[in-house]
């Protein structure tokens, strides 16, 4: 599943191809995505120039002269930059055709992705308005994490993955951040010390930044968003390394299940 770093990598990959270009049309082949794509979008956006791209949580924002496109990759979506005449393949659901002769083509086998257009402030769109802070927001800081952990008995790893408290910290990144902060994933959130909370706040940002940097240098124009962290995998300390020696202390990495998701940690490095 595309996580925050893959969406940001996608944004960086498409940015130089779309900014300053005019939209010729939206060619919609399948409107039944997670929510039905409005057939009127094409008329609304044709002729508009792309001002900039942005991202909020896992939504890619394409800002036009008169409004903003909100695109979500869902569980299996990917966006590619292609010459417009490239033949379509199975699960290609729409083309955003640009005046450069290039298209942004959306492919999504499971159809959990989505496309919306708004002429209002996108941050006030119902899909975005109530999202929790994300790791790169100034609002996500040690003070905030300290506050939300104080009365919660839930395991710290599950708190990190609770999107009503912080958005964009997926399963891989939660395990990796906890390793870097040297905190065991099953610890009750409220037992973390101030120092651990501060370390964890930094670790969450660092691990996402690293994933974005690595993804951004390896994926380039063909932006594959199947959730495979690609080269980032070589930099993982614990994720999917059960039984393998810890890169710090050489003891075997352990795997447990929390909330139906696999968690990986080092029983010796993490307290
Ligand atoms: Zn270790």
Residue-wise pLDDT for 152-201, tens only, equals 999 999 999 998 999 989 899 999 999 999 999 999 999 999 999 999 99
Contact of 91 with 109, CB cutoff 8 Å: yes
**CB-count exposure of residue 211 (10 Å: 0-12, 13-18, 19+):** buried
Distance 268 CA to ligand 1 centre (A): 5
Mean pLDDT of 100-127: 96
Distance 152 CA to ligand 1 centre (A): 27
Q: Would you call 3 a catalytic residue per the annotation?
A: yes
What phi-psi label fits residue 248: left (phi over 0), alpha (psi between -120 and 50 degrees) or beta? Answer: alpha
| DSSP element (H, E) containing 28 | strand 23-28
Annotated catalytic residue, options 56, 58, 105, 184: 58
- Strand 59-64 and strand 50-56: pairing? antiparallel
**CB-count exposure of residue 90 (10 Å: 0-12, 13-18, 19+):** exposed
Share of the chain above pLDDT 70, in %: 94
Distance 119 CA to ligand 1 centre (A): 51
Mean pLDDT of 128-139: 92
Measuring CA to CA, which residue among 73, 83, 99 is closest to residue 9?
Answer: 73
> What is the rounded average pLDDT for all residues in the chain?
92
Distance 160 CA to ligand 1 centre (A): 21
pTM of this structure: 0.85
Mean pLDDT of 213-236: 55
Place of tokens 């083309």: 95
Q: Is the pLDDT of residue 49 over 70?
A: yes
Annotated catalytic residue, options 3, 6, 176, 196: 3
Q: Would you call 16 a catalytic residue per the annotation?
A: no
Euclidean distance between the first and final Cα of the chain, in Å?
30
In this structure, of 168-172, 212-216, 230-234, 261-265, the range with the lowest mean pLDDT score is: 230-234
Euclidean distance between CA atoms 205 and 176, whole angstroms = 11
């Amino acid at each position: 599943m595309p996580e925050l770093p893959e969406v940001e990598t996608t944004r960086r990959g498409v940015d130089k191809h779309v900014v300053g270009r005019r939209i010729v049309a939206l060619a919609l082949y399948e409107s039944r995505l997670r929510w039905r794509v409005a057939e009127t979008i094409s008329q609304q956006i044709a002729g508009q120039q792309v001002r900039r791209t942005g991202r909020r949580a896992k939504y890619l924002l394409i800002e036009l002269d008169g409004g903003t496109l909100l695109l979500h990759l869902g569980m299996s979506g990917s966006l590619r930059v292609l010459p417009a005449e490239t033949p379509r393949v199975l699960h290609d659901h729409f083309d955003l055709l640009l005046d450069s002769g290039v298209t942004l083509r959306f492919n999504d086998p499971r159809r959990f992705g989505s496309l919306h257009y708004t002429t209002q402030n996108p941050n006030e769109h119902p899909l975005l308005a109530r999202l929790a802070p994300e790791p790169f927001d100034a609002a996500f800081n040690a003070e905030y994490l300290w506050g939300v952990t104080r009365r919660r008995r839930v395991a710290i790893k599950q708190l990190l993955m609770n999107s009503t408290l912080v958005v964009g910290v997926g399963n891989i990144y939660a395990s990796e951040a906890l390793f870097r902060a040297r905190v065991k994933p099953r610890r009750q959130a409220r037992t973390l010390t101030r120092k651990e909370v501060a370390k964890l706040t930094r670790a969450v940002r660092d691990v996402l930044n690293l994933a974005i940097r690595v993804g951004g240098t390896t994926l380039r124009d063909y932006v594959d968003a199947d959730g495979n962290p690609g080269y980032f995998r070589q930099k993982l300390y614990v994720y999917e390394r059960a039984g393998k020696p810890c890169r710090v202390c050489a003891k075997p990495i352990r795997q447990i299940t929390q909330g139906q998701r696999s968690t990986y940690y080092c029983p010796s490095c993490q307290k």
